[in-house]
Structure 1
Amino acid sequence: MGHFSVGLFVVNALSGRLTALMRRGGVRRVQEHARGVALAPPAAVGPARTSGTTVAFWPDAEIFGTTRCSFAVLAERFRQVAFLNRGLEVSLTDERRAGRVRKVRFRFPEGVRDFVAALDAETGATLEPDVIAFEREDPRMAGTMEVALLWGGSREERLRSFANSRLTREGGMHVDGFHDGVAAAVAAWARGRGLLTAQDAGPGADRIGEGLTAVVSVKLDRPEFLGPIRGLLGGAEVRTCVGEAVREHLGAWFEERPDRAAAIVDRIIRDRHRQ
């Protein structure tokens, strides 16, 4: 999707050597590249019983200061990709040392719901055992969203945001929309029970974020990024769509679980009045 489709071209350009093995229509074909340039057209090398593509590449030592890959870094990234693509199985094998093969495999049937549960487990201070999660497609932003969240015992916010499975370190419109939606749902529930009056301002992002663990992932046909490193997602329609969806789903969750909603909202409103 979008500019992420150029990923393999970039890898090829930064590789001293790249080999692509393609299995399609019962035939295996191989094509070799050197520093981004094809050495010859794809050549048939035998029959194929399955379909798919296998890419092997060697980073160019004249470009990179080191060409040694970190197993831990790759494993964490593969784990992240598996979280963000529900049901996808990703494996990583390290055969660099004879007799010391390392291998990990990741697959998460619940996707971002599992992601939030894993992030919250790292805090060791869970208060709300249920992860609130939903997925929605919205043609207004030409894409889909997956959101999961819960409030725990930590005092800090742990929010991870992604666009097309890529981390958006600086946030963006999907994060703003998420905060809009959570604040709107909390304020609506509080006003409906007299915890806030019509004149009271609703809680801000700093209040709703305390103890909140969340993952906001959008997959867009035409993502708009701001800044040179593409870590900030733009697009006003993304903010609107995510905000509406979060408000609706969180509001429904509050109505279905009034006791848990009361504990969450009371904590937010009480801390707000203490300031």
Structure 2
Amino acid sequence: MSETASGYDATNITVLEGPEAIRKRPGMYVGSTGIRGLHHMLFEVIGRSVNDVLVGGGGCVDVTLTRDGGVRVTDDGPGVPVEAAGDTSSACLETLLTRTHPGAGAGDRHTASWSVYGMGPCVTNALSSRLTAEVRRGQTLWVQEYSRGTAVAPPAATGPATGSGTSIAFWPDAGIFDTTDYSYAVLAKRFREVALLNRGLSISLIDERPQGGVRSVRFQYPDGPRDFVAFLDAETGAHVTPDIIAFEREDARMAGTVEVALSWCGGREEEVRSFANSVPTPEGGTHADGFRTGVTAAVNTHARQRRLLTTTDPDLTTDRISRGLTAVVSVKLDSPEYEGATRGRLGGGATVHDCVEQAVRDHLGTWLTQHPEQATAIIGCIVQETSLN
């Protein structure tokens, strides 16, 4: 059919750009217009704040759910550069809030990823009925307001400021989302996870909405994954406080670091949590597989050396060794590779697997040698479980 006959030409094509494109297809940018998308909208903003303070070695990020249905995210980072101030050495405020940044959530070993979509705070801006940004930088307070992703006016200096940092307050558009009611429990769980995986980071969650009064919680953990394992053990109701084995190693081969904490509490199923750049990987992947291989090798080597297994005994299997095991396996990579769009499983080939395996085998093996009584007790429980089954 000819173009003339069909009546189809360039006038039939509509080009959507900026906030209009995001508002037209919000699911492409935050996953859905339900509660999951609502949370991702916040994660795009808090992710920027967390990474700002992490790059500086740690700091505070405060998230407030306001009585009028808004959310305010405040950090004590360096403050987003403001174009009107003449500082264009990095992305300025208006660029941050009006242009998508594909892959902004991917991060590197020095940052924490929050969102699968990773398009940046401009998505939050476009999907909000209004947004206000305040920047404390160079002893000046800069303010800019937006309406449905469009700037009401340029950034304006409104007075002096003490310290530095950025505050972004936004109100999700009720005409786009099925609900604008954030889940305190869901946010608290994710904030706790990220704080546990990143030493030096402090995240608070303040909820002004309850009629009975404000509720709040602050998450900060000096021992990182070691604290994470202690938290998981406490959640399972462990009646004894087990020894927690923890270590961190940097490996140039995988361009990143691996951090592991683990303990054994007999008589229950394993609880192994794995993360890549602070993103949960519920389907595991190369880091989780390398961890299990390393644990199995270290335990069997020690058991043979200490004659806790006879020459006729078969090696202890990974399934048996994992019985009662609690562990957190966290890798932070410059270029993480995932299998699938949802980042549920880490890829990266044999390199990540081998680096994690070697680190676990070396450090766990050393710990078992240096703590013979605890090692004998742990392996004895594993052998007993094996004989009973």
Matches within 5 A, 1:1-275: 2=106, 4=113, 6-97=119-210, 100-127=213-240, 129-196=242-309, 202-236=315-349, 237-275=351-389
Listed one character per residue, the Cα deviations across residues 224-256 of structure 1 (whole Å, up to 9, x for unaligned) are 111121111111222111111111111011001
CA distance 1:255–1:23, shift in 2 (3 Å): same
User: Distance between the aligned counterparts of 1:146 and 1:68, measured in 2?
Assistant: 35
CA distance 1:126–1:7, shift in 2 (3 Å): farther
CA distance 1:272–1:154, shift in 2 (3 Å): closer
Q: Is the 8 A contact 1:91 1:105 kept in 2?
A: yes
User: Distance between the aligned counterparts of 1:244 and 1:126, measured in 2?
Assistant: 32
Structure 2 residue matching 1:56: 3-state secondary structure: strand
Listed one character per residue, the Cα deviations across residues 69-119 of structure 1 (whole Å, up to 9, x for unaligned) are 111221222222211111321111111246611111121111111111111
User: Distance between the aligned counterparts of 2:318 and 2:275, measured in 1?
Assistant: 19
Amino acid at match of 2:366: A
User: Distance between the aligned counterparts of 2:316 and 2:387, measured in 1?
Assistant: 10
CA distance 1:208–1:65, shift in 2 (3 Å): same
User: Distance between the aligned counterparts of 2:280 and 2:247, measured in 1?
Assistant: 19
User: Distance between the aligned counterparts of 2:371 and 2:348, measured in 1?
Assistant: 33
Amino acid at match of 1:225: Y
User: Distance between the aligned counterparts of 2:315 and 2:132, measured in 1?
Assistant: 57
- How far has the Cα of 1:30 moved from its partner? 2.3
Amino acid at match of 1:230: R
Superposed CA RMSD in Å reads: 2.3
- How far has the Cα of 1:191 moved from its partner? 1.8
Q: Is the 8 A contact 1:146 1:216 kept in 2?
A: yes
Structure 1 residue matching 2:291: 3-state secondary structure: helix
User: Distance between the aligned counterparts of 2:252 and 2:348, measured in 1?
Assistant: 13
CA distance 1:153–1:37, shift in 2 (3 Å): farther
For structure 2, the residue ranges without an aligned partner over 5 or more in a row are 1-104, 108-112
CA distance 1:262–1:40, shift in 2 (3 Å): same
CA distance 1:23–1:116, shift in 2 (3 Å): same
CA distance 1:29–1:247, shift in 2 (3 Å): same
Q: Is the 8 A contact 2:266 2:381 kept in 1?
A: no
User: Distance between the aligned counterparts of 1:241 and 1:126, measured in 2?
Assistant: 34
- How far has the Cα of 1:269 moved from its partner? 3.3
Amino acid at match of 1:215: V
- How far has the Cα of 1:207 moved from its partner? 1.4
TM-score (norm 1): 0.90
Aligned residues: 275
More off after superposition, 136-145 vs 34-43: 34-43
User: Distance between the aligned counterparts of 2:245 and 2:292, measured in 1?
Assistant: 15
CA distance 1:129–1:274, shift in 2 (3 Å): closer
User: Distance between the aligned counterparts of 1:170 and 1:128, measured in 2?
Assistant: 28
Q: Which has the higher strand share?
A: 1
CA distance 1:99–1:268, shift in 2 (3 Å): closer
- How far has the Cα of 1:37 moved from its partner? 4.1
More off after superposition, 179-188 vs 98-107: 98-107
User: Distance between the aligned counterparts of 2:153 and 2:256, measured in 1?
Assistant: 38
- How far has the Cα of 1:126 moved from its partner? 4.7
CA distance 1:198–1:26, shift in 2 (3 Å): farther
Q: Is the 8 A contact 1:126 1:151 kept in 2?
A: no
User: Distance between the aligned counterparts of 1:200 and 1:227, measured in 2?
Assistant: 41
TM-score (norm 2): 0.65
